[in-house]
Structure 1
Amino acid sequence: MRNWKLLPAFVAATLVAVVVSYVAFYFVFLDFFVDLWWFRSLEFEPYFWLRLLYRFIFSGAVTVFFFAVFMFHFWIASRYLGLNPPDEVLLDDGKRKRFQRFAEIFMSGSTKIYTPVSLLLAIAIAVPFYLQWEQALLFFFGNASGVIDPVYGNDVSFYMFAYPIYILIQKELLITATLVLAATGVLYWLEHIFVPNQSKEFPLGAKIHLGALFLFVVAFVIWGYLLERFSLLYVDSNEPVFFGPGFVELHYQLPLIWLEIFFVVAIAAAALFYVFSERHRSKVPAVLATLGLLSVGGLKHTHSIPEMIEKFIVKPNFTRTESESMLSNIDATLAAYDLNNIKTIDFQVNLDATKDIEEWSTKKHFENIPVWDREFLIDSYMQLQGIRPYYVFPTVDEDRYFINGHHQQVNLAAREVNIERLPKEAQNWENKHLRYTHGYGAVISPAAQDAGIPIVWYLRDLNMSSEVGFSVTHPDIYYGQEKYQYAIVPNNLTVKDISSSRDSSNYEGKSGIPIPSYFRKMLLAFYLRDEKIFFSPNISNQSKVLIRRNIDERITALTPFLHLDKDPYLVVDKDRLYWIQDAYTLSNYYPVSKPAADDYLDGKHKFNYIRNSVKIVVDAYDGDVDYYISDPKDPIIAAYNRAYPGLFKKLKDMPDQLLQHLRYPRDLYYMQMKIYAKYHQRSPELFYEQAETWEYASVDGQSVLPYFITMDFDRCNDEEEFVMINPMTPVHRDNLSMVGVAGTMDPINCDHSYQPGLTIFKFPKAVQVNGPSQVNALIDQNPEIAAQFTLWNQQGSEVRKGRMVILPMGNSILYVQPIYMLATKTRIPELARVIVSIGNQVVMDKTLLAAFSRMKDLFVKGASGSASGTSGDETK
């Protein structure tokens, strides 16, 4: 019968042991060793151990510290300080022995209780530190930035590195001190309840102990109020005018915080005087100080007084009362988003564009203006160059390559593998993981091309055919943008003609986790939850498991503290293909800087500071990952570089064939211009008026987003620059205000080393400069062009307008818009015509040079806007 009674306990213990073993095996043992093997395969093993060491040093040290705090105070409270028998007990030998025996039982018994309690409390307190250990890393390795905040005069690195950790430490120490004070107080009280013959009065030692703990609580409360002052730097109560503290925060909220500190000190002094004073005890000072603290708290949370200050003091003279606050917000925001070094050029518009047309008609490589949009090319690439059903082109990139004696802009895309496009019956384990393991090659076509002819190819087909010199030794793509599953290569399968004429399973790369033994084979089968790995006869001792093959997933697993741009791009080299990924360091603690909008990056990270501080290169064949610091002035990446020596390389160490393909990140430029659209108004008066606020230009309700162009801007000895351009208009207006240019060429040495910079071509307010929507209206209003569109739309095709290219040209603004025809059945776009517009003139032709020539005739003859806008052979 006794054994039956123990059965439920035995079953419960067995279930607990099984669950613990399962969790330990899958989430500790397996994860640890597979991660170790994976980091080792990438030659990042020292970095792996360093991250592990930092994590457990910080969390372990914090746990030990808090355990020692709890243990120390509980131990003291269980000792003699709480035992206070009357004198007659100590004189009576029998009573004294009974008292000592009971007290010893109490002290030795309580040790068994407060030891595990101390450990549990310490672990609970240490959890937030474990979750934020990366921020603690910045705290220990961060250095001063040299930039001072305008309100309190602290270095901004204090807010980015120390302030978040101080908030966490203050909160946890306050909780700890409060728990220790309450627990030791209860322990002293229990001793007086359960230990016999105790006097009513606590001994002096107990009072000193509790008083010291009380002072710790008070100190941490005061520290919290001191840190609360800095929270005023991040208030948004003055939005939408400006971000950060204003008159109310600095002259009303801040003094109230100091008053709270005063009353907390007063309460503490009154309480201690009451406890330790034997005479003149009075509760009045403590009560008055408490009422004062409550009153100040009420004033802090009331809305009526701040509203009265706003109504009667601030708003009647806003620019005077808030000028310093607005200026602080402007300066901080421009610095936080790296907008302080923008070069502004006052663009003088010449209404007569004849001279500009003549000069640019003969300009070297003028035909390099891109007329093929990557948004339209994706369908053409898929249908013309997919070739096999399992190949896809996830995206189309833009870049420049030295072709035919000059830098020419091209569109290119990687031909990646997507197993889901195979027939369902072919989507078996062997095909997914051993046979269809990788993509193959890339396609390249010029971004500039004449209309009415098929797409010109610079690199095409599975045999990597190229008439302009492209050649790749290892075109296989094992790592890319697709959602790749794990692959096992090389293997015993003989696979022909999946990607090329050679054996597709003959992988020669260095990456991957080796499978040298059955034991590791078994562990990998458990890790990937796939028993076929262990039983497959096609896996040999030379095989390797390739995991984390999506480049975003790969980089995030290596460096989760870096935030990735949404648009990695492909580089075609002679040896193999590479991916270049822009990475950012972010902070949400830059003082008085406006937070970024929610539509940037993944929308999950709130930040008000950003730097494109790292360029990451991923080998599409090997999977090797290299990190290059592109902004060494960024204090965040400098801290990580000190914390992880050897992880990051200098940008000058990047191979030249990759360095010349670096570009200004599209997402960063888009966000910077959204900020600069308002914050270019640097004087508080102009900033308050918002008379010159910009917004992205739009056409048919769609914003004209930044786009790349390769052109000679007369800045570097006839050298073409690969830049990004975006136009902006006044808010709720269609005329053009500015054209922004983001480039990377070194303006001094005129080479292709990475020197990012922004230039703004700003137009005079007194002159009307057509914006994209106005040019679009001119195109739609042109009767010849409208008639031609109507005719094409009736011939089994659909006319689509491409992206409008806007380009400063001498003292004129050039608009170029490609026109595509999409076949109704195949949906393959064809470049049909190119529209050119300068001033109020619009011309459509098959080539840019032909359109330019006709545009020149219009200006020379002084033709009106009603002149013919199409070439003579449009209907042919």
Structure 2
Amino acid sequence: MRNPMTRVSRRGRVTIVVLAVVFLLFTLFDRVVGAWADYLWFSEVKYTGVFSTVLTTRLWMFLIFGAAVGLVIAGNLYLAYRTRPLLRPHSAEQHALDRYRLFLLPHMTIWIVAVAGLIGLFSGLSAQGHWQEWLLFSNSTPFGQTDAQFKVDLSFYVFEYPFWRYLLGVAFTAVVFSLLGALALHYLFGGVRLQGAGERMTTAARAHLTALVATFVLLKAAAYYLDRRGLLLDKFPTQDLYGAGYTNVNALLPAKEILAWISIVVAIAILVFSNAFMRNLVWPGLALGLLALSAVAVGGIYPAAVQSFTVKPSQLQKEAEYFQRSIDATRLAYGLNTVQVKPYASRAEKPPTNLPSVDETVTNIRLLDPTVIGETYTQQQQVRGFYEFNPKLDIDRYTIGGKTQDYVVGVREINYASLQQNNWQNRHSVYTHGYGFVAAPANQVVCNGQPFYVSGFLTEQTKPVGDQGQQCASQTDLIPVSQPRIYYGEQMGDVYAITGRAGSGGGGAEFDRPTANAGDQYSSYEGSGGVAVGSYWRRLLYAAYFRETNFLLSGVFNDNSKVLYVRDPEDRVRKIAPFLTLDSDPYPAVVDGKIQWIVDGYTTSATYPYSQRLDWNTAIQDSSTNSRMFPEPRQDVSYLRNSVKATVDAYTGEVTLYAFDESDPILKAWNKAFGNKLVKPRSAISASLQDHLRYPEDQFKVQRDLLSRFHVTTPNGFFSGQDFWEVPKNPANPTADQPPYYIVAKLPNQEKSRFQLTTALAPRSRGNLAALMSASYVDGKPVFEILELPPDTAVQGPAQMHSTMTGIAEARREITQFSSNNSEVIYGNLLTLPVADGMLYVEPIYLRTKSDKTFPTLQKVLVAYGPNYKAYANTLADGLAELVKQATGQAPVPGTGDNTDPGTPPGGNPTGSPQVQEAINAMNKAIADLKAAQVAGDFEAYGRALKALQDAIGRYEAASKAATPAPSTSASPGAQPSASTSANPSASVTPAPSG
């Protein structure tokens, strides 16, 4: 006879209890500290309603679902124990179980409560993570649109379907654990026997277990019924489309209904035949076998047969209706249904003679690449080694001197890793903030390829001077900022700051900025941000929260001390509105004199019926996104709206959420969940803030990815796939997609220039150009346009044109020479621009020395127009003028072998006319005035010089026509002398690089 299991001693039991209590207290302590600190943080940003709503929702879900699952399991375990047989037959099997019964019986209630409580605990912890699903379910808002199959409002799929799915999962969990636990107890106490004579199961055990099995089968019936709606979220068997196709609608949908009814019949059969009639498990077993066989035959084999023998032989005819459903739903779900598609012939092969000033697209051509010149900003504008700019700068537009154009902008932040004395006090209480908003026109370079800075100057050192003493920056701050201090920024988000300490002289103790004559300046934070930590108890709290004893030991604290944390603008918005998907590129803007971070927030859903489902993090990847060591977790999306524009004050940290798409049902539901106090109405967006809102980049990337296929709106076209597009690869980084570019331009069919986001698209698996896509805001409303090229044209795409332009003999020779002379060649953004019924391409080339850490400077520009005219020049102005000279016969076209004297048009010598010579002289003078105005940063003088240049070009063209004897044999009369190349109005924006 085996000895009973050894019982735990009293001392051992006490030890276990103490350890359990210590573990529980340690876990709770960490959570309580975190909750308390969060409450103080939410109080600081004045969003305590978010904190309380989320906390109470998670707490109630933890308690309700944890208690429900625990009680169901405990009830079934207790029932199995209470209905145990009082007498058990003697057998070796029962004898072997005696030792376990003796171990459990003295404290059976405790064991039942412990097991059920543990499962309930994990169920509650899981449930509180589904708080968003509950809030959407309980605040469901109608879409006002129905699905194509069941004619049910879309709110069911977006708000209710996910929570019903979760509830079913919880019910299955409770029933399965109850069944397993009850079976184990019935077996342990003799209610179920595997050996010996007589019945294998007592009446009570059979009734209990079959009731649980029947409940499981009934839940399966409910799951089959819900699966019917879920079919509208499935993927097509053969096409990369989502929704219920022919097979799903005509085979799988009725199969689910049949299986639901079979499940109900089987559940009833299990109860009736097990307990009322035969009182054995033969018929219930057969019923379960029938259900399994039906699931395989009706739910698997039959739909597969329909797909193989009915759909595949004539797929287009069978699936056309469902293709159309998916196309329409996808375009609606992602806001593609309002895209304006316009033809663009791009037939012009020669550039116009007035190309340098033909329209505002050319005069605003962007040369500075924000992904390249971040290092340039840092080295030229940092002054001290611990200052830093984001490596990927931002693009925004400002109006200076009456002219609106795009600027490359960034803020000067602290790089804590570069502090010479990187101790706790310096890191957290001395170097607390950055300083200054730095901007430069995106279409202007000076002083051998450097940006022309117009704001954010710390000292004269941040106003570069050229080799010959010329000014390379504005002498005054053209974008005035009333509060230039940066306490909240992208580079400082992980480091908390302690403010409020007084300096030795009675002033502030925080390093503010260096000055040229007065030495280093110090200040003290006076903003409203931060949590007060003047009291000992607050410091004790944050010592535990940050796990930092200096909160208790350091002398930097006083009664006025505050701690500023969660300082990354994106993190602040995410903490306040965790349901939003945030754009990956927040950008700073000066709004009413204050530096504001603007963050785009999206409402998304993965359960929009028939809509294409994609992985958000994959869709927004291109050559401009930061590569990550570990990929982001998949985030499925089938619905997208840019519903929120958020701002974060760089000084105070104040977060404001504005409803940008007030018609979005998801935003309405969330706002309702938080008492209609979470977001401000769109009318609260000031005019000055509206001026800096831009079409968000991540949304554009997702939309262009989808439009590469869903610009095709007919089932026939979609089935063939012949007209599908793709995002071209970036010529500077052929392994990644080309990013979209923000530019100020006036594209065809647009009444005036706009600040817009543009991209090129190529036919699938081909390199030429298929379309140009742009998105912008017009009067505050999003406008999405596509310029579609005729399919019979072969306009070169970005990668092809990059190869063509770098193949120019001089370019190839110099680029090779640069690379061999210890210089790194960096290609900037290659712009594809529709100009004068043709296509203009511009690609800047940056150089920097490999051996030392020099910053990139723009040294060369590649330009091309149409298939034949291309140039490699020192400046954009020179390049555009060279294209005109090639088109008018004054210069050979590269690669044609044309040796015509560049100064003599083939049709004669119109330059002999006094009127022509006078016009040339006027153009040269205007060019000189343009350069002088650009160097001085005098926009008014620049405008006068530009007008004089345009007048001179007009006089030159008129005089050339009059002087040319035979128009049929002469070149285009718009030929300009080489000096006029500098007159490109883009030189307003691009005065150099020299050399």
TM-score of the two chains, using structure 1 as the length reference: 0.86
In the alignment, the residues of structure 1 paired with residue 718 and residue 254 of structure 2 have an alpha-carbon distance, to the nearest angstrom, of: 28
In the alignment, the residues of structure 2 paired with residue 801 and residue 206 of structure 1 have an alpha-carbon distance, to the nearest angstrom, of: 77
Q: CA deviation at 1:122?
A: 4.2
Q: Indicate if the aligned counterparts of 1:738 and 1:760 stay in contact, CA closer than 8 A.
A: yes
**Secondary structure of the corresponding residue to residue 691 of structure 1:** coil
Q: In the alignment, what sits opposite 2:494?
A: 484
After superposition, the Cα gap between the structure-2 partners of 1:240 and 1:391, relative to the gap in structure 1 and judged at 3 Å, is: farther
Match of 1:838 among 856, 865, 871: 865
Q: Indicate if the aligned counterparts of 1:470 and 1:574 stay in contact, CA closer than 8 A.
A: no
In the alignment, the residues of structure 2 paired with residue 110 and residue 460 of structure 1 have an alpha-carbon distance, to the nearest angstrom, of: 74
**Secondary structure of the corresponding residue to residue 231 of structure 1:** helix
Q: Does the alignment pair 1:543 with 2:541?
A: no
* Deviation digits for residues 555-605 of structure 1 (CA, Å, limit 9, x no counterpart): 333222222221111112453311111122222212222222452464532
In the alignment, the residues of structure 2 paired with residue 784 and residue 724 of structure 1 have an alpha-carbon distance, to the nearest angstrom, of: 33
**Secondary structure of the corresponding residue to residue 642 of structure 2:** strand
Q: Does the alignment pair 1:654 with 2:685?
A: yes
Match of 1:332 among 329, 354, 357: 329
Q: CA deviation at 1:298?
A: 2.7
In the alignment, the residues of structure 2 paired with residue 845 and residue 190 of structure 1 have an alpha-carbon distance, to the nearest angstrom, of: 89
Q: Does the alignment pair 1:391 with 2:387?
A: yes
Q: Does the alignment pair 1:764 with 2:790?
A: yes
**Secondary structure of the corresponding residue to residue 582 of structure 1:** strand
* Deviation digits for residues 84-115 of structure 1 (CA, Å, limit 9, x no counterpart): 99xxxxxxxxxxxxxxxxxxxxx999877766
Q: CA deviation at 1:215?
A: 6.0
In terms of mean alpha carbon deviation, does 683-692 or 655-664 score higher?
655-664
Q: CA deviation at 1:247?
A: 3.2
Match of 2:673 among 640, 643, 652: 643
Match of 1:461 among 451, 457, 465: 457
Q: Structure 2 matches for 1:401-550, cutoff 5 A?
A: 401-423=398-420, 426-449=421-444, 452=448, 454-463=450-459, 467=476, 469-482=478-491, 483-494=493-504, 495=509, 499-500=513-514, 503-550=521-568
After superposition, the Cα gap between the structure-2 partners of 1:585 and 1:413, relative to the gap in structure 1 and judged at 3 Å, is: same
After superposition, the Cα gap between the structure-2 partners of 1:75 and 1:301, relative to the gap in structure 1 and judged at 3 Å, is: closer
Q: Indicate if the aligned counterparts of 1:491 and 1:505 stay in contact, CA closer than 8 A.
A: no
After superposition, the Cα gap between the structure-2 partners of 1:738 and 1:538, relative to the gap in structure 1 and judged at 3 Å, is: same
In the alignment, the residues of structure 1 paired with residue 876 and residue 728 of structure 2 have an alpha-carbon distance, to the nearest angstrom, of: 24
In the alignment, the residues of structure 1 paired with residue 25 and residue 86 of structure 2 have an alpha-carbon distance, to the nearest angstrom, of: 50
Q: CA deviation at 1:725?
A: 0.7
Q: Indicate if the aligned counterparts of 1:367 and 1:848 stay in contact, CA closer than 8 A.
A: no
The residue type paired with residue 234 of structure 2 is V
In the alignment, the residues of structure 1 paired with residue 281 and residue 48 of structure 2 have an alpha-carbon distance, to the nearest angstrom, of: 64
Q: In the alignment, what sits opposite 1:729?
A: 762
Q: Structure 2 matches for 1:436-835, cutoff 5 A?
A: 436-449=431-444, 452=448, 454-463=450-459, 467=476, 469-482=478-491, 483-494=493-504, 495=509, 499-500=513-514, 503-573=521-591, 575-597=593-615, 598-600=617-619, 602-644=632-674, 645-698=676-729, 699=731, 701=734, 703-713=737-747, 718=752, 720-746=753-779, 753=780, 755-790=781-816, 797-824=823-850, 825-835=852-862
After superposition, the Cα gap between the structure-2 partners of 1:715 and 1:114, relative to the gap in structure 1 and judged at 3 Å, is: same
Q: CA deviation at 1:758?
A: 1.1
After superposition, the Cα gap between the structure-2 partners of 1:165 and 1:858, relative to the gap in structure 1 and judged at 3 Å, is: same
Q: Does the alignment pair 1:20 with 2:24?
A: yes
Q: In the alignment, what sits opposite 2:884?
A: 856
In the alignment, the residues of structure 1 paired with residue 808 and residue 439 of structure 2 have an alpha-carbon distance, to the nearest angstrom, of: 35
In the alignment, the residues of structure 1 paired with residue 335 and residue 78 of structure 2 have an alpha-carbon distance, to the nearest angstrom, of: 55
* Deviation digits for residues 368-421 of structure 1 (CA, Å, limit 9, x no counterpart): 211111122112112111211111112311110011212111101111101111
The residue type paired with residue 671 of structure 2 is N
Q: CA deviation at 1:732?
A: 1.8
Q: Indicate if the aligned counterparts of 1:450 and 1:847 stay in contact, CA closer than 8 A.
A: no
**Secondary structure of the corresponding residue to residue 648 of structure 1:** coil
* Deviation digits for residues 627-656 of structure 1 (CA, Å, limit 9, x no counterpart): 112222222221111111211112321233
Q: Does the alignment pair 1:49 with 2:52?
A: yes
In the alignment, the residues of structure 2 paired with residue 182 and residue 774 of structure 1 have an alpha-carbon distance, to the nearest angstrom, of: 65
**Secondary structure of the corresponding residue to residue 756 of structure 1:** strand
Q: In the alignment, what sits opposite 2:296?
A: 298
Q: Indicate if the aligned counterparts of 1:788 and 1:875 stay in contact, CA closer than 8 A.
A: no
The residue type paired with residue 610 of structure 1 is L
* Deviation digits for residues 459-490 of structure 1 (CA, Å, limit 9, x no counterpart): 14325875352222221111111243111102
In terms of mean alpha carbon deviation, does 596-605 or 559-568 score higher?
596-605
Q: In the alignment, what sits opposite 2:319?
A: 322
In terms of mean alpha carbon deviation, does 6-15 or 244-253 score higher?
6-15
Q: Indicate if the aligned counterparts of 1:41 and 1:512 stay in contact, CA closer than 8 A.
A: yes
Q: CA deviation at 1:182?
A: 7.5
In the alignment, the residues of structure 2 paired with residue 595 and residue 477 of structure 1 have an alpha-carbon distance, to the nearest angstrom, of: 39
In terms of mean alpha carbon deviation, does 647-656 or 267-276 score higher?
267-276
- Structure 2: runs of 5+ lacking an equivalent: 1-7, 88-104, 193-198, 464-473, 621-631, 903-976, 982-992
Q: CA deviation at 1:354?
A: 5.1
* Deviation digits for residues 169-193 of structure 1 (CA, Å, limit 9, x no counterpart): 1222244346567878999999998
In terms of mean alpha carbon deviation, does 243-252 or 379-388 score higher?
243-252
Q: In the alignment, what sits opposite 1:33?
A: 36
**Secondary structure of the corresponding residue to residue 325 of structure 1:** helix
**Secondary structure of the corresponding residue to residue 297 of structure 1:** helix
The Cα RMSD (Å) is 3.9
In the alignment, the residues of structure 1 paired with residue 639 and residue 724 of structure 2 have an alpha-carbon distance, to the nearest angstrom, of: 22
Q: Structure 2 matches for 1:856-875, cutoff 5 A?
A: 856-861=884-889, 866=896
Q: CA deviation at 1:242?
A: 3.1
After superposition, the Cα gap between the structure-2 partners of 1:788 and 1:243, relative to the gap in structure 1 and judged at 3 Å, is: same
Q: CA deviation at 1:230?
A: 3.0
**Secondary structure of the corresponding residue to residue 159 of structure 2:** helix
Q: In the alignment, what sits opposite 2:990?
A: none
Q: Indicate if the aligned counterparts of 1:241 and 1:688 stay in contact, CA closer than 8 A.
A: no
The residue type paired with residue 236 of structure 1 is K
After superposition, the Cα gap between the structure-2 partners of 1:513 and 1:206, relative to the gap in structure 1 and judged at 3 Å, is: same
Q: In the alignment, what sits opposite 2:940?
A: none
After superposition, the Cα gap between the structure-2 partners of 1:239 and 1:407, relative to the gap in structure 1 and judged at 3 Å, is: farther
* Deviation digits for residues 241-296 of structure 1 (CA, Å, limit 9, x no counterpart): 43343333333333332332232233233334435656x98988756544432222
In the alignment, the residues of structure 2 paired with residue 222 and residue 229 of structure 1 have an alpha-carbon distance, to the nearest angstrom, of: 11
After superposition, the Cα gap between the structure-2 partners of 1:262 and 1:526, relative to the gap in structure 1 and judged at 3 Å, is: closer
Identical counterparts, % of pairs: 27
- Structure 1: runs of 5+ lacking an equivalent: 86-106, 195-199, 747-752
The residue type paired with residue 324 of structure 1 is E
Q: Indicate if the aligned counterparts of 1:472 and 1:572 stay in contact, CA closer than 8 A.
A: yes
Count of residues in correspondence between the two structures: 834
